[in-house]
């Protein structure tokens, strides 16, 4: 429902206090926003005077280029050849599968073979790479070299190597940008492939994030304001042009993925306090990824437009770098990310570990967190409490997939901590299993790849029940078999 007024005034001038009239602007106020864009705060610019028509400025922050993993047969061959235990025939046949032109979808079959091979690059056969990235060598990832970066000062210090913000603020902490800023699918001035995918899915209903601010002085100047950020069960409403419509109502759930912060506002710039844990929805483009982005030592800065119709800003803090690795890698599986996005999750893992700079673990003496900043763009909305307390709704048909995602994330953490290789948990699509087995139908070299390439193995499942066997809800239970 579109509401008539943009600023909700809960009470007016109450009277005189101690014989002195209160200022006319000192009245309770509330403003709400819905997030229409949510992405890592990576910066790709350089010169402010750059102008070449409609062409996007080439980023000066990655002089060594961006990732090209599996972008060509030559790139794939180089990655496969690093494993000394592979035979020359295996290297040659994986690179150019014999007879691949005879299958229905040659390109897809080739990609799945590449993905399967790339999923097993450990120090010996049988170790799945993306669950155990530490078990293979660091292939290297181009890193950001620029001194200019978006973000906030999270540790209160100005250190050698810190970024400087575009407006000159020193001490900016955003090592996630330093680590991943040259990763191909995250590069682009607002048009990076994963940025576009995640924002499109968010706007199409995958999840909704809202912000509500309130105070008792003035919406643009308030020394004692409150900012709430959290999940909404309501789908984003779009206007006729496909943009986020203004002034619709959204509920905010004060349970998971929710934080209430003290804030100060000066000339429309909102600065919150820094808190030990800042909970908010996480960036996602599949349901299994959705969940809580827990920012340690987190805070928010927003810049509201003068008319209150929009706002832009940053959410910053330290994120557990293992969580970031898993959230990106296992949205589908590591091999698909490699063949489609041309990023090597192993390189991402080492870049995160190398640049970790927060959340010191006293047991290991290492940092578990990496300084991170997320960019958000907001449109005016009415953010209201639900009629009754409620939890974040679950999508029943996707819960098994989400459980598999959480299982593989925990396997990564166990392996990284113990250095004991972990198996691929069942229920995932990791290592293109069983997709590859189906995509090789009609491939003359099928049996060679079945016998040569590693794949996940699971405990045997019970055979399918025949009619008259196990019955549930009046129907025989059929158990799928391991291909």
pTM of the model: 0.87
pLDDT band at 471 (very low <50, low <70, confident <90, very high): very low
Q: Does residue 309 share a domain with residue 221? A: yes
State the Cα–Cα distance between residues 196 and 288, nearest whole angstrom. Answer: 18
Task: From 202, 182, 185, select the one nearest 194 (Cα to Cα).
Answer: 185
Q: Does residue 420 share a domain with residue 376? A: no
pLDDT band at 2 (very low <50, low <70, confident <90, very high): very low
Residue 289 located in a structural domain: yes
The token duo for 119 is 């999923």
> How many other C-beta atoms lie within 10 A of the C-beta of residue 56?
13
The token duo for 88 is 């020359």
pLDDT band at 15 (very low <50, low <70, confident <90, very high): very low
* Contact (CB, 8 A) for 268 and 313: no
Whether 17 has a pLDDT exceeding 90, the answer reads no
Instruction: Find tokens 């009754």 and name the residue.
Output: 388
pLDDT higher at 76 or 188: 76
Over residues 387-393, the mean pLDDT reads: 94
Q: Does residue 314 share a domain with residue 250? A: yes
Q: Does residue 118 share a domain with residue 199? A: no
Q: Does residue 81 share a domain with residue 159? A: no
pLDDT digits (tens, 9 = 90+) for 448-461: 999 999 999 876 55
Q: Does residue 187 share a domain with residue 228? A: yes
Q: Does residue 165 share a domain with residue 99? A: no
pLDDT at position 63 is 82
Residue 44 located in a structural domain: no
* CA atoms within 13 Å, Cβ hemisphere of 168: 0
Whether 21 has a pLDDT exceeding 80, the answer reads no
> Of 384, 408, 440, which one is at a domain's C-terminal end?
384
Whether 45 has a pLDDT exceeding 80, the answer reads no
Residue 211 located in a structural domain: yes
Q: Does residue 169 share a domain with residue 117? A: no
State the Cα–Cα distance between residues 415 and 407, nearest whole angstrom. Answer: 12
Q: Does residue 254 share a domain with residue 347? A: yes
Q: Does residue 467 share a domain with residue 373? A: no
Total domain count, the chain:
2
* Average of per-residue pLDDT values in the chain: 88
Residue 63 located in a structural domain: no
Instruction: Find tokens 């759930």 and name the residue.
Output: 253
The residue range of the domain holding 97 is: 73-139+396-476
Over residues 402-431, the mean pLDDT reads: 94
Q: How far is CA 97 from CA 93, 94, 338, 342, 411, in A?
A: 5, 5, 18, 20, 32
Q: Does residue 225 share a domain with residue 91? A: no
> Of 359, 384, 409, which one is at a domain's C-terminal end?
384
Q: Does residue 263 share a domain with residue 307? A: yes
Give the distance from CA 210 to its chain's centroid.
Answer: 18
> Of 355, 384, 413, which one is at a domain's C-terminal end?
384
Q: Render 29-83 in DSSP notation, one character per residue.
A: EEEEEEEEEEEE-------TT--BTBPPPPPSS-TT----TTSSHHHHHHHHTT-
Residue 42 located in a structural domain: no
pLDDT at position 43 is 86
* Contact (CB, 8 A) for 177 and 150: yes
Over residues 419-441, the mean pLDDT reads: 93
């Amino acid at each position: 429902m579109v509401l008539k007024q943009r600023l909700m005034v809960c009470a007016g001038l109450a009277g005189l206090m101690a014989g002195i009239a209160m200022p006319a602007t000192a009245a309770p106020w509330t403003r709400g926003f819905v997030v229409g864009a949510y992405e890592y705060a990576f910066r790709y610019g350089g010169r402010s005077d750059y102008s070449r028509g409609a062409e996007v400025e080439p980023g000066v922050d990655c002089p060594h280029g961006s990732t090209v993993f599996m972008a060509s047969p030559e790139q794939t061959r180089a990655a496969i050849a690093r494993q000394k235990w592979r035979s020359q025939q295996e290297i040659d046949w994986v690179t150019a599968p014999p007879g691949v032109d005879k299958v229905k979808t040659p390109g897809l079959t080739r990609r799945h073979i590449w993905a399967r091979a790339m999923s097993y690059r450990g120090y010996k056969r049988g170790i799945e790479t993306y669950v155990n990235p530490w078990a293979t060598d660091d292939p290297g990832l181009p890193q950001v070299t620029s001194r200019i970066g978006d973000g906030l000062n999270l540790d209160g210090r100005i250190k050698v190597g810190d970024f400087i913000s575009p407006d000159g603020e020193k001490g900016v902490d955003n090592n996630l940008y330093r680590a991943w800023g040259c990763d191909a699918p995250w590069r682009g001035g607002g048009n990076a492939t994963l940025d576009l995918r995640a924002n499109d899915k968010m706007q199409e209903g995958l999840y909704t994030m809202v912000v509500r601010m309130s105070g008792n002085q003035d919406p643009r100047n308030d020394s004692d304001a409150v900012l709430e950020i959290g999940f909404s069960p309501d789908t984003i409403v779009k206007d006729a042009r496909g943009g986020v419509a203004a002034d619709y109502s959204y509920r905010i759930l004060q349970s998971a993925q929710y934080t209430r912060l003290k804030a100060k506002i000066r000339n429309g710039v909102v600065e919150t306090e820094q808190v030990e844990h800042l909970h908010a929805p996480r960036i996602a483009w599949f349901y299994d990824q959705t969940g809580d982005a827990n920012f340690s030592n987190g805070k928010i800065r927003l810049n509201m437009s003068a008319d209150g119709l929009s706002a832009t800003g940053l959410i910053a803090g330290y994120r557990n770098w293992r969580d970031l690795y898993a959230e990106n890698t296992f949205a589908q599986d590591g091999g698909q990310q490699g063949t489609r996005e041309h990023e090597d999750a192993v390189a991402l893992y080492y870049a995160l570990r190398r640049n970790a700079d927060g959340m010191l673990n006293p047991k290991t003496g290492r940092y578990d967190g990496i300084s991170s900043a997320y960019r958000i763009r907001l449109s005016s909305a009415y953010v209201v409490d639900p009629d009754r307390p409620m939890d974040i709704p679950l999508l029943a048909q996707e819960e098994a997939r989400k459980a598999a995602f959480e299982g593989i994330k925990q396997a990564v953490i166990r392996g990284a901590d113990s250095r004991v290789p972990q198996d691929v948990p069942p229920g995932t699509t990791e290592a293109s299993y069983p997709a590859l087995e189906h995509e090789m139908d009609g491939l003359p070299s099928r049996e060679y790849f079945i016998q040569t390439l590693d794949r996940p193995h699971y405990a045997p499942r019970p055979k399918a029940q025949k009619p008259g066997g196990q019955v549930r809800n009046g129907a025989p239970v059929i158990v799928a078999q391991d291909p």
